[in-house]
Amino acid sequence: MTVESPVQLVALLNKMAFNRFLDQVRYETALERDIHRGTDRDPDAVVPEQPGVSTVVGWRDEFAEIHRRLTDSERDLAQRWACGESWVEIAGPQRADQDRARHKLDQAFDRVARQLSKLRKEEITARYLEAVYRWVLEQE
């Protein structure tokens, strides 16, 4: 498409902005579905107060796999977060630095979830992996 006038440029930019908005709505809606989906991969459903031995063993294996797939810096960030450090303690007082650290951790868990989902041919959410990672570290 060629833009031949300022009016066409404004129309194109409006269309692009609207499409980006729709993409964000779709993304947020998908996240909401993942959070409320009642599968065994939902962390609210898989973290009972007294898990059985086989569940604990499975979570420890899952933790080891997550841990192996994170980079050293991601691993450090995930451990500090899972052990309850605040974002101020992890990234410093600047809000932008905290947001970057949070985003980096989100991306890491998203990447590992995609890798494991593809490998196992089943849906595995980043939220589930975060819950397992945090649970295992809390037990140590």
What confidence score (pLDDT) does residue 44 get? 46
Alpha-carbon distances of 25 from 20, 42, 130, rounded to whole Å: 9, 22, 23
What does the pLDDT average to over 119-136?
A: 87
| H helical segments located in 5-125 | 6-36, 43-46, 53-69, 72-82, 87-91, 95-120
Q: What is the pLDDT of residues 54-66, one digit of tens each?
A: 788 888 898 999 9
CB 62 within 8 A of CB 56: no
**140 or 71, which is more confident:** 71
Is 133 a member of any domain? yes
Same domain flag for 133 and 83: yes
Q: What is the pLDDT of residues 105-123, one digit of tens each?
A: 999 999 999 999 898 888 8
Q: What is the pLDDT of residues 13-26, one digit of tens each?
A: 777 776 776 667 66
Q: How many domains does the chain have?
A: 2
What domain range is 82 assigned to? 49-139
Residue 53 has pLDDT above 70, yes or no: yes
